[in-house]
Structure 1
């Protein structure tokens, strides 16, 4: 039995009701396995047609439809998935494939299929960010063995291959220039239908190599509005709701929400290439103007942690290794004009932007805000169109290792370099971190690279977020994953 909905204030309730009526209509119309299929309300709609070579890959992972050779345990160490084992020899890694695996279209998992998927990712433009700075080739030894070779010795190859962007799909997915995940994965749920940016449907795949899923299927609705997502949980429209906004968490029964410190940092990226923040002294002035504690208490209602660095409490070893960073002295803003961009998909970010606008104005800047949906602002952010950009950024999303995030965001040729940073000391530190074997030495090198970035003031970490997920009272086995890779699993079901 569902928990009765708590009442919203009337205007919010009406707005949420209108949104939900439109958002969930297609799911209700199917009438499939009512009360048994899992209804999921997700925050961001697909941006690239659910291509696994984009960030949409993490949706495929969270729905347990696309799988990788390797997965990560809670500590970020690699463990078997579609590959049962591996060994390193210099620049090459040999992977033994799991036998008896079939794709959703009935074809078998073979070395040829793995080679096709990984080589397509390696040759993509742009590359999946887990391959930033990495050149790799993949060859089949026999039907159940592949060898992955990198241009330089890379200790993180297994962790890289755990990224959902390197999912293995059947040959059918690669017809034409795009990659189509419908009916081409290997997971316990088969993606059967995608309705643009509004919804998707998955059915249980009864021939899954890992056993039979407990739920007959998943109905996904994309609901960018945070109030509407929370209302979906209250009303029983959704069984699982991802990314419940902080402002809505207090309106939900505490027993229906789970709060987990996550490796996600709310950061102000400053454009180091042109405009006001090309001057290190003005970047320092912006850093000193920011009162992160007031953001945590005000915008996040205490459901976040003030940032001491780019890496937060989800990686406790970072705090233990971190040392004070020497930074530039602050200059006088003297009325300089700046434009700060952010997006609406995460409900707190516009509020953070408004608060920062006041803090920076008080420090002497003239501040204009530009707020859009993420899909409509990402390209401008990456091209350096703003003086500053507020981003909620996962720091170990891809490999379980923050070196990949640091390289992607702050290396001179990083694919997500919003700060447009090109600093030789940072590049050197990032290269060292990437080349250091896993373990204590690598963690030390990662923290040194973080310090090199912080010394430039190209990014001002403000706070570390906590993931807030809503599960209806009759949902069993939903994943609460700080890396946002899992959500509905083999064991998830509705009582």
Structure 2
């Protein structure tokens, strides 16, 4: 059981602080020129693939504002210009106009050919970047324009091209066996040095097309230990700290932390294919038995949002478009035995499982828990071996669009259908959402698909998670991005 943050031993906090001593002893931040000091950044996860943009490391390059994409997303998830200034669709082909006056950090010019080179490397990589799974994509240059053609008509091509995994890098990045982003981006900060999995250094790129950055540079340290990251903020050794653990948030100055709603929902998936929850009335009984508010307050110490649907406050349009859902009447669960599975990799989930066990037993169910490491339980969950499964699930994948998540998790042929759901009404709604044009039309179709899923009680959304970011008192302009694509931007500096 987690100790309240205020009861953590002083010795543990001192030890964590010691882990950070000397971590940011590079350039003297007070000697830097410009509007502010260098930004000292403590990040949670070290690079896993040498900062290759074709991996999840791409999100680090994006958060440091060193690598950029043709398109970026606004708060609504709509595509906006970045390295491309405009685009248009003609069936399976999209044409993008490339921004003039952009140079890579090695001084070479951004051209249509350079864009084609980067995107072709991604499209032909093995394995492909996740955003291109199942997507057939070819790219060619036509003067100062780039055409992107897909195997089937795809309304989300601009959103796909916003993924950090499709960052545009200089030709030199592709000279070796792996993609090397050092000195090869187009952003306001140039990646100049990477020290394995311990640190990275970025300096301001004064020829940035979008204007001079306010900070002279970024000094990154990778600090996997959450207590150590919190200690770095408390001691003043870091200016911006990623992912402060819930257990540490209470012992920090509350003015220094920001809780950012994440597009991640903690959901109880109910097996509709066999067992107790094949009965819609018993699924309804389980839904009515769950007190999500007490889980938010008890397990997450109030630092999460009670779910009203599958899509949470990180997608602000969802609540605006959502209407009440008509559901089945609850049956009598007395004496019904169920097994709930979850995993240990996310620290809160076993605690959530214990709370659910008590709530469902109070309603009349007999509840057994099966808790393992994720690698050892995923195959059983996908095979429908549990009556119910607790999962913390990202609801917006790389394109910034929730339709893919809904289809994967609730389509009758979805690849991650833990509920074993096969419902014609749901499939029709998911199909409509998948084919809808981007923008308001697609958002409305997505909410209709969400409603169709919720009406089945195949999934009971409980809460939406938040990530806690620490910004020191002198930090100005740090991004608080639910999609975790931005952190230090051209406008970020330390006074």
- TM class, shorter-length: 0.7 to 0.9
> Is 1:14 equivalent to 2:11 in the alignment?
yes
**Per the alignment, do residues 118 and 454 of structure 1 end up closer, same or farther by CA in structure 2, a change over 3 Å counting?**
farther
SS of residue paired to 2:191: strand
Q: Which residue in 2 is equivalent to 1:484?
A: 484
Match of residue 78 from structure 2: 77
C-alpha distance after superposition, 1:41-85 (max 9, x if no partner): 223333443332333322211111111101122333222111111
Q: 1:338 to 1:257 in 2, by over 3 A?
A: closer
- Residues in 2 aligned to 1:176 and 1:411: alpha-carbon distance in whole angstroms: 41
Indicate the residue corresponding to 1:52 in structure 2.
Answer: 53
Deviation at 1:311, TM superposition (A): 0.8
Question: Does the 8 A contact of 1:269 with 1:418 survive in 2?
Answer: no
Contact kept? 1:182, 1:191, Cα under 8 Å: yes
What's 1:188 paired with? 188
**CA distance 1:15–1:349, shift in 2 (3 Å):** farther
* Distance in 2 of aligned mates of 1:220 and 1:444: 41
| Bigger Cα displacement from structure 2, 388-397 vs 214-223 | 388-397
For residue 486 of structure 1, report the CA deviation from its aligned partner.
0.9
Gaps of 5+ in 2: 32-36
CA distance in 2, matches of 1:123, 1:419: 31
Alpha-carbon spacing, 1:348–1:336, altered in 2? closer, same or farther (3 Å): closer
Q: 1:198 to 1:351 in 2, by over 3 A?
A: farther
Using a 3 Å threshold, how does the CA distance of structure 1 residues 390 and 102 change in structure 2: closer, same or farther? farther
**What is the DSSP-based 3-state SS (H/G/I as helix, E as strand, rest coil) of the residue aligned with 2:122?**
helix
> How many pairs are equivalent?
479
Is the CA contact (8 Å cut-off) linking 1:23 and 1:198 kept in structure 2?
no
Are the counterparts in 1 of residues 6 and 250 from structure 2 also a CA contact under 8 Å?
no
Aligned partner of residue 430 in structure 1, secondary structure: helix
- Asked if 1 retains the 8 angstrom alpha-carbon contact of 2:227 and 2:248, the reply is yes
Q: How far did 1:413 drift?
A: 6.7
- Paired with 2:56 and 2:268, the residues of 1 have a C-alpha distance of 21
- Residue 105 (structure 1) aligned with residue 109 (structure 2): no
Query: If the length of structure 2 is used for normalisation, what is the TM-score?
Result: 0.83
Give per-residue Cα distances to partners, 1:70-122, cap 9 Å, x unaligned: 11223332221111111222221111111222222333222222222223333
After TM superposition, the structure 1 stretch with the greater mean CA deviation from structure 2, 327-336 or 47-56, is 327-336
Is 1:296 the counterpart of 2:296 in the alignment? yes
Distance 1:111 1:286, change over 3 A: farther
Farther-moved stretch of structure 1 (165-174 vs 473-482): 165-174
**SS state at 1:232 partner:** helix
Aligned ranges 1:289-368 → 2 under 5 Å: 289-319=289-319, 320-326=321-327, 334-344=336-346, 348-349=348-349, 351-359=351-359, 363-368=365-370
Q: Aligned pair in 2 of structure 1 residues 216, 408: CA closer, same or farther (>3 Å)?
A: farther
Report matched runs for 1:421-432 at 5 Å: 423=422, 425=424, 426-432=426-432
Tell me how far apart the structure 1 counterparts of residues 98 and 225 of structure 2 sit (CA, whole Å): 42
Corresponding residue of 1:475: 475
Gaps of 5+ in 1: 1-7
Cα deviation, residue 473, structure 1 = 0.6
Aligned-residue CA RMSD (Å) = 3.5
Offset at residue 406 of structure 1 (A): 2.6
Q: Deviations over 1:268-295 (max 9, x none)?
A: 456778x979956686676555321111
Residue of structure 2 in register with 1:96 after alignment: 97
Please state whether the residue corresponding to 1:21 is helix, strand or coil: helix
2:34 equivalent in structure 1: none
Give 1:134's aligned residue. 135
Distance 1:173 1:488 in 2: 23
How do residues 150-161 of structure 1 correspond to structure 2 at under 5 angstroms?
150-161=150-161
Equivalent residues of 2:325, 2:455 under 8 A apart:
no
Report the counterpart of residue 64 of structure 1 in structure 2. Answer: 65
1:338 deviates by: 4.3
Q: Helix, strand or coil for the counterpart of 1:18?
A: helix
Q: SS of 1:187's equivalent?
A: coil
* Rg comparison, structure with higher value: 2
Partners of 2:382 and 2:169 in 1: CA distance? 31
Residue 137 (structure 1) shift:
1.8
Find the aligned partners of 1:286 and 1:46 in 2 and give their Cα distance. 41
Structure-2 residue corresponding to 1:218? 218
**TM-aligned CA deviation for residue 440 of structure 1:** 3.5
CA contact (8 A) 1:17 1:228 kept: no
Judged with a 3 Å threshold, the aligned counterparts in structure 2 of structure 1 residues 336 and 155 are, in CA distance, closer, same or farther, namely: closer
Contact 1:12 1:227 in 2 (8 A): no
Closer/same/farther in 2, CA of residues 449 and 489 from structure 1, 3 Å limit: same
Whole-angstrom CA distance in 1 between matches of 2:100 and 2:21: 39
* TM-score, length of structure 1 as denominator length: 0.83
Q: Do the aligned residues in 2 keep the contact of 1:285 with 1:333 (CA within 8 Å)?
A: no
